[in-house]
Chain A
Amino acid sequence: MSKQVTLTINGKQVTAPEGLTVADAAKLAGVDIPVFCHHPKLEPVGMCRMCLVEIGRPVFDRATGQPVMENGQPKIQFMPKLETACTNRVSEGMVVLTQSEKANDGQRGTVEFLLTSHPLDCPICDKGGECPLQNLTMEHGSGKSRFNYDEKQHLEKMVPLGELIYLDRERCIQCARCIRFQDEVAGEAVLGFDERGRHTQIISISEPGFDSVFSGNTTDICPVGALTTVDFRFGARPWELKAEASICSQCPVGCNTTLNTRREAKAGGEIVVKRVMPRQNEEVNEIWLCDKGRFAYHYTEGKERLTKPMVRKDEKLARASWDNATKTAAENFVANKKDFVVLASGRLSNEDLFNLKSLADTAGGEAILYSDMDGGELTQLVGVGAGTNLGTMGKGDAILVIASDLYEEAPIWWLRVKQAADRGATVIVANPRATKLDRFATYTIRYSYGDELKTINDFEKKSKISDAFTKAKNAVIFYGNEGLGVTGTSVLSSACANLLKETGHTGSANNGLIGVWQRANDQGAFEIGFRPVADLEKALKNKAVYIVGADPVGDDPNLAKALKNVKFVAVQDIRETATTEIADVVFPAQAFTERDGTLISGERRVQRFYAAVPAVGDSKPDYAITAMLAKQMGVILQGTSASVVFDILANSVEALNELTYDALAQVKEQWPLVGRNDVYYGGTTYDNTKGLGVQLIPLAQAGGAVKISKVRKEAALRPKDKELLAVPSNKLYDLGVTVQTAEFLEQRIGETSVAMHPTTAKKFEAAEGQVVKLSFDGVQAEAVVKFDETIGTGVVRIPRSMGIAIREPVVAKVQVKAAAGKAK
């Protein structure tokens, strides 16, 4: 704990940690000092002058160094003019007056100045109702201006900064919170000031505009309505919105969110989610949220949602009752008991997965996780210890990121690792190509695709990098599936686990292994006992398959082929997919916005999400559907409510032992204090009142014996002439079901392109931007070539979920497609 100093604010004696600004110290003591440019997560700049207060400091005798006394009290010397509370740090004996006549006068004057060119179009402003400028004008404004309103600047109303964020230059008060957020927090300086004086305005200095995945956060911290999102534009007035706590379902970070809902005529009078806002959890996402989490929630709505159970009749899917549908599925599964397979994805909650696993176990079936990544059983052993908070990692700590592009896969982890680097942590990035994290890395290792194991083994040899990792106080490894499939990640994860074990970085907070999974609850699926298989086609062939929350047919033509030759397919999902089209029975499930449940993040934090909107049609929660189906199969499972299922789950799965919904809903006070009535201080981020979640204790921390199986090296793939090694990588905005449906993300998704080294492309006589034909393993695809000088030669990098089915590295034949003109 840092040194505490005692000071007096408005006559009240308070103690605050040394180094805190007066504005923050006052906040801590419950005294509100109005601010615009100051934000507790940003460095102070003192640009807006709103926080003017009177500050006095004790006078010291120069000769003795002792405080000068006056009537038995230390003599306080006030500065002749007002000072900004946000740029002055607290000091011992300081006296601060925030409500004095002089201070009030200064604050009143500042508001008057800020309003000289503000359009006051609050009625049409998306921020109206939760606007710091509105609130502080009401509180501190003079009510009348001495300025000439005719001199107000009139500018074109809306200027898009990017395709997601709109700027209203009239409303901007030049506090630079957005610019500073992008510079300091996100580390992507894509915004800047243009012009000067009264003409100062915000511009985007990137191409495409506002090229950052954290852009939505600037609208949260903007103290006026200058920055607003396209998604929420004129969507609702903030006071009409209801708020419900949720967890982002897009990636394994598990960001805490708040869903704002409202009844909507455009949606046929239904209650719909109007926007997704971050909810404070300092150990997970602080007060931030990436744009994917903020904007890509639209997959939970739309015409493609399944509303009624369906059963195939005369080659066609026809609506059926729940009873009929579950009965049909149950009869077929019972008849093919030996071939029963449950294929579920990490999009599901723990409750759903637990019921599915119980059903598979009792009915004698196999439970398969639909994922291209393995190693979850190792994160249970040597995963990060309870109490892990990336926000506390800094000098003396090391973070290794291997085979993962965190920016594209888990943006908030990227942000947190970047901030750890800022605080002095050693960040080692090992990847076959350049990633955005390289810029903040202490060491960058560039290996060839297929050399992941060798890269980890090299840490055993003495080198600067291995020393930095081995001798670090705390060390965390993030591993992903860049260029790897199930087999590859299995090898890589055991190598990483071994390295952590050998270097003693297991079993305590801020130490351990984190899997950068493809889906939000893959970790939970592993905890419950689901495992991915290397050869999914073989595992599905000739079986009776129960597919839940996955679209194998749409993802991979090989899987589609495999699923044609099965005995029976029941599909349970929220939307119509290519897989529901081939199904014999379809069960409509509820989206995460419509029900409650829990997810386990990559850092093994169990977190609760709550129902925010009513269910669509006749859909039911996944765990309830499974329970109904199980009943028809003669297996008794709980399906009445998520909490009941969780109770049984917590008693059956050792790692979750004794966890309850109540424990997950516990909160404690977090710093900074945001999300209360004072939107001007922390922005429109929500305060966390519905639970911070509980981090699971890995076996290494619980004191169990950790055994890690020996690492087997796989034979490397050897492409011949006219062939390339095709490797998968991950893209943030892809064509996956959960992203594609947000129309305004179309530009960010972009066209499907594959990356090659220029030399490789030259060998195949492919120019940049040219279309090439790729064929491998039963897949035929065409894509545009992009050059990437940072990857090795002989390799073609293919993004996952962009229309080309690739789950693991394969050898691909490449053909340059003749230009359309030439062919004729």
Chain B
Amino acid sequence: MGVFDPIIELTKGLGETLRSFLMEPTVTVSYPEEKRPVRPRFRGRHVLKRYDNGLEKCIGCSLCAAACPADAIFVEASENTDEKRFSPGERYASTYEINMLRCIYCGFCEDACPTEAIVLGDNYELSFLNRRDAIYSKDMLLEPVSSENMLTPRKVEAGVFTRSVPEMQNPTD
């Protein structure tokens, strides 16, 4: 072994470092300033979806609660009127709560939902200071609306929104 051998080896190694520094893309993300996009089927915090007209998709059927293996969901239903309409059809969820400490993000609730109202979204930043705050209520879960007149409940034309369960299509993603 020559005297210069360690230096050669060292140079080789540093050369590799230099190569990757110059040639390879950076993978480190400076979270939280920067966030990585999530996969299409990522299962993050739930969102209660709305139709394009702003009406809530959730009809308060409680099937998500029934499917939930962790018993994290609590739903209570009430009746819609055309004067005070939350969702199409007769029934809407007057109470919708998910205990995020209990939730195991399995997505069974999504599968059970007959109106595709509950969807596991891409928000994974959940933190609470106490257990009570871990219970997300309906107003926290509902998708925000783009304009004021899409808010629920709202007065609608009588006799238009009579069906609770829309015709289902195959999921696209």
Contact = CB atoms under 8 A, between A and B. Distances in A.
Interface of A: 120-121, 123-124, 128, 156-158, 233-237, 239-240, 263-266
9 contacts: A121-B89, A121-B165, A124-B165, A157-B162, A237-B62, A239-B66, A240-B62, A263-B74, A266-B94
A234 B91 contact: yes
A33 to B, nearest CB: 29
A240 B91 contact: no
Interface residues of B, number: 24
Interface of B: 59-63, 65-66, 74, 76-79, 89-91, 94-95, 97, 114-115, 162-165
Nearest to B87: A124
Contacts of B164: 121, 123-124
A79 to B, nearest CB: 41
A237 B67 CA distance: 13
Contact of A234 (B63, B77, B97): B77
Given A124-B164, A124-B165, A265-B95, A234 B74 contact: no
Contact of B90 (A128, A158, A265): A158
Given A234-B78, A266-B95, 4 more contacts: A123-B164, A123-B165, A234-B91, A240-B65
Nearest to A168: B90
Contacts of B79: 233-234
A234 B95 contact: no
Contacts of B89: 121, 124, 157
Contacts of A121: 89, 163-165
A263 B79 CA distance: 19
Contact of A157 (B90, B94, B97): B90
A367 B78 CA distance: 47
A467 B137 CA distance: 72
Q: Which 3 A-B pairs have the closest CB atoms?
A: A123-B61, A265-B95, A234-B77
Contacts of A233: 79
Contacts of A124: 59-61, 77, 89-91, 164-165
A236 B74 CA distance: 11
Nearest to B167: A149
Contacts of B97: 265
A336 to B, nearest CB: 51
Nearest to B92: A234
Nearest to B97: A265
Contacts of B163: 121
Nearest to B80: A234
A123 B95 contact: no
Contacts of B63: 123
Contact of B66 (A120, A158, A237, A264): A237
A235 to B, nearest CB: 8
B59 A265 contact: no
Contacts of B62: 236-237, 240
Contacts of A128: 61
From A120, A234, A265, residue with most partner B Cβ within 10 Å: A234
Nearest to A155: B162
Nearest to B66: A239
Contacts of B76: 236, 264-266
B98 to A, nearest CB: 13
A773 B59 CA distance: 53
A272 to B, nearest CB: 11
A120 B60 CA distance: 16
A123 B74 contact: no
Contacts of A266: 76, 94-95
